[in-house]
Amino acid sequence: MSNVHSSQLVFFAAHAPFDRMEPAHLLWMIERMQLGYYAKGEVVVSPEQGVAQRFLVIKQGMVQGEQNVADASDADTWLELSVGECFPLGALLAHRPVASVYRSVVDTFCYELPLTAFHELLGLSAPFRDFCTRRIANLLEHSKQVIQAQYTQSSSEQQSLTSPLSTLIRRAPVTCSPQTSVREVLERMHELRVGSMVAVDEDGRPLGILTLPDVLERIALPQIDLDQPVISIMTAQPTSLPPQAMAYEAALSMAKQGFRHVLVVENEKLVGLVTEKDLFALQRVGLRQIGQAIRHAADISALQHSAADIRRMAHNMMAQGVSTEQLTQFISTFNDLLCARVVELEYSASQLGQLTPHLCWMALGSEGRFEQTLSTDQDNALIFTLPEGMTAAGMREILLPVARRINEKLALCGFPLCKGNVMASNPQWCLSLDEWKRTFSNWISNGTPEALLHSSIFFDFRAVYGTEALADELRLWLARVASENTRFLHQMAENAMAMRPPLGMMRDFVVGKENTLDLKLNGITPFVDAARIFSLAAGVTHTSTIERLRGSAAKLKIHASEVDAWIDALLFIQVLRMRHHDEGKAKGLSDEDLDNKIDPEQLHELDRRILKEAFRQARKLQARLAQEYHL
């Protein structure tokens, strides 16, 4: 091997996807590459050149893509490519001209592979093919492995929560008929050494389940007649999931409901049983234990311990490599349980009694979107209906002191009070159902800057505790009213375009004070705002940004691959935020001191590259928003 090839191998080994390619395939590529030079300002590739003929990798320098081919300016620059990055993948794969002018920002050298060799390499190298066809998803997978390696030393080896339940079934389920006696069931459970028995009908449909913890509570202590049918003491309609459901869904179900077992049911027929032991035999996450501790917490001290357990759980899951989407769902689920328990305890202590069926405690903002990280302040509100003979003002007089105590106790559990006072203890946000409709209607009709700001927070509401039907009714009403007001949607879109992703022309990123950028304000917000607008326009009732994008895509005729790239980008920014918060906690920072500001120069080279790609996806999403609303 020549010295030239050796130096080139060293270069490519430092950049994805080449670092994953087999040496023979990498050498094959290098032998067919030429080195091109482009002076500052020179066009590298343009639409006028016809179908793209070269795969380029930047060896030295920087290349920018321009949307306006006639007159490039800072505002027209939509992407910047630096050392190790390759282009133009979309054009090469689709056998079409590039959509933009690619121009060198400084004197630039590029390794260039001819089109025919590029397509040959796609066939030779699976890592290369996978990267080219799933660029950001592939980069994310690479980054996840780096993150996992960083956390491995602080966490035990754990079972994958992305496994389908069908792969976790260890044996055929042990069943009985519903009329089998309790005595016979107990004898059989002892003989087979199993911890549960499921009653099924003649067609194999599960009717009930008896577990070992039930034996003490339902059989031994009451000293029941052991000859009665077992169905009479079983848990009816046990929780079930299909075989293709993921392990994390079973874990969430166990955590929410406090069960140790989930039935696996296909076409209504019992096909297996997954236990907590199956899910977590190799890990110390203890999801059900955290859920149980929260549900049975008697005071704020116990809930503070549970809040700390949630953070430890998140750290362990990051080490395990659990996906960001799943991780945020876990965090939000447990935070919901904790919030609900605080509300429940305070309602009981305040002796609200007959008023509770008229109340619904709602989460707003990131919690409303199931997107909480380890640093989230409170955004909440109350919605109520009026008992006979009561006024809205009278209800507020009763509820506001209770809401204040709830807000204060949540703050003790690690959810700082909202600096903007967007909390249920604020009279503005403790309203009857009719008052909420009038408030929302006023915002939609007026479209003032304040109304648009409030909409970006309050339209992400969802029920956490109480009568969920109240929030459901408000959600359906909002979906109908907002989708009919195109002027308001246009104003929201115009407002959303003001928050631009922080990509620079001469540098990788546009940074603020102390050379930092805000991953929440500049990173997450463009995705959240666009998804909210799309969902309102399409009448989608989801509050999660990801589900909003997925649910709106078909109705707005957005290609699934576009949406997938946007979601991947959003999830990467989220994982950076969670790592930043986790590291802050490890340094002893308080909940109030955690922020979303990072110095991109301190990131791993791979993470900087993916963050740039994520911000480009945010720009593409905003471009789609601008196209929809002619901005």
pLDDT of residue 138: 57
**Poorest-pLDDT segment among 109-118, 454-463, 590-599:** 590-599
Same domain, 124 and 232: no
DSSP H or E run through 360: strand 359-363
Does some domain include residue 92?
A: yes
Q: In terms of Cα–Cα distance, which of 322, 229, 400, 213 is closest to 571? A: 322
pLDDT of residue 497: 92
* Rounded Cα gap, residues 534 and 202, in angstroms: 48
Same domain, 115 and 170: no
pLDDT of residue 192: 84
- pLDDT interval class at 143 (50, 70, 90): low
- pLDDT interval class at 155 (50, 70, 90): very low
Strand 196-200 with 175-176, pairing: parallel
pLDDT of residue 498: 87
| pLDDT > 90? residue 55 | yes
| pLDDT > 60? residue 616 | yes
Per-residue pLDDT tens digits for 221-272 = 888 999 999 999 999 988 899 999 988 888 888 877 778 889 999 999 999 9
Per-residue pLDDT tens digits for 58-83 = 999 999 877 543 333 333 345 678 88
Contact 490, 451 (CB under 8 A): no
Q: Write down which residue in 280, 307, 337 finishes a domain.
A: 280
Same domain, 21 and 126: yes
pLDDT of residue 78: 54
Mean pLDDT for the chain overall: 86
- The one-character DSSP state at 219 is I
User: What CATH number is given to the structural domain containing 93?
Assistant: 2.60.120.10
Q: How many CB atoms lie within 10 A of CB 2?
A: 9
- pLDDT interval class at 631 (50, 70, 90): confident
* Rounded Cα gap, residues 64 and 83, in angstroms: 12
Which range marks the domain in which residue 88 is found?
A: 3-132
Q: Write down which residue in 263, 280, 297 finishes a domain.
A: 280
pLDDT of residue 32: 95
Same domain, 119 and 176: no
Q: Which amino acid is at 304?
A: Q
* Rounded Cα gap, residues 187 and 193, in angstroms: 10
Same domain, 18 and 112: yes
- pLDDT interval class at 131 (50, 70, 90): confident
Q: Which amino acid is at 152?
A: T
Which comes out higher in pLDDT, residue 172 or 73?
172
Same domain, 23 and 72: yes
Q: In terms of Cα–Cα distance, which of 196, 366, 175, 350 is closest to 271? A: 175
**Poorest-pLDDT segment among 121-125, 488-492, 559-563:** 559-563
pLDDT of residue 70: 35
CB-based burial of residue 493 (10 Å sphere; 0-12 exposed, 13-18 middle, 19+ buried)? buried
| pLDDT > 90? residue 156 | no
- Torsion sign over Cα 618, 623, 627, 630: positive
- pLDDT interval class at 409 (50, 70, 90): very high
- Count how many domains the chain has: 2
Q: Where are the alpha helices (DSSP H) in 158-223?
A: 182-192, 212-214
Q: In terms of Cα–Cα distance, which of 20, 18, 279, 10 is closest to 145? A: 20
pLDDT above 70 covers a percentage of the chain that reads: 90
Same domain, 237 and 196: yes
Does some domain include residue 71?
A: yes
pLDDT above 90 covers a percentage of the chain that reads: 49
Same domain, 115 and 179: no
Task: Go through the chain and tell me how many residues it has.
Answer: 631
| pLDDT > 90? residue 442 | yes
Does some domain include residue 465?
A: no
Does some domain include residue 16?
A: yes
Which comes out higher in pLDDT, residue 336 or 281?
336
Does some domain include residue 332?
A: no
- pLDDT interval class at 357 (50, 70, 90): very high
- pLDDT interval class at 154 (50, 70, 90): very low
Contact 337, 294 (CB under 8 A): yes
Average pLDDT over residues 46-57: 94
Same domain, 273 and 170: yes
Per-residue pLDDT tens digits for 532-546 = 999 999 989 999 999
| pLDDT > 90? residue 118 | yes
Q: Where are the alpha helices (DSSP H) in 296-355?
A: 300-320, 324-349
Same domain, 128 and 169: no
* Bond before 88 cis per omega within 30 degrees: yes
Helix (H, G, I), strand (E, B) or coil at 13: coil
* Rounded Cα gap, residues 17 and 36, in angstroms: 21
pLDDT of residue 430: 98
User: What CATH number is given to the structural domain containing 270?
Assistant: 3.10.580.10
pLDDT of residue 79: 65
Helix (H, G, I), strand (E, B) or coil at 30: helix
State both tokens at 114: 């001819």
Q: Write down which residue in 224, 245, 280 finishes a domain.
A: 280
Does some domain include residue 174?
A: yes
| pLDDT > 80? residue 288 | no
Q: How many CB atoms lie within 10 A of CB 90?
A: 13
* Bond before 17 cis per omega within 30 degrees: yes
| pLDDT > 60? residue 159 | no
Same domain, 10 and 110: yes
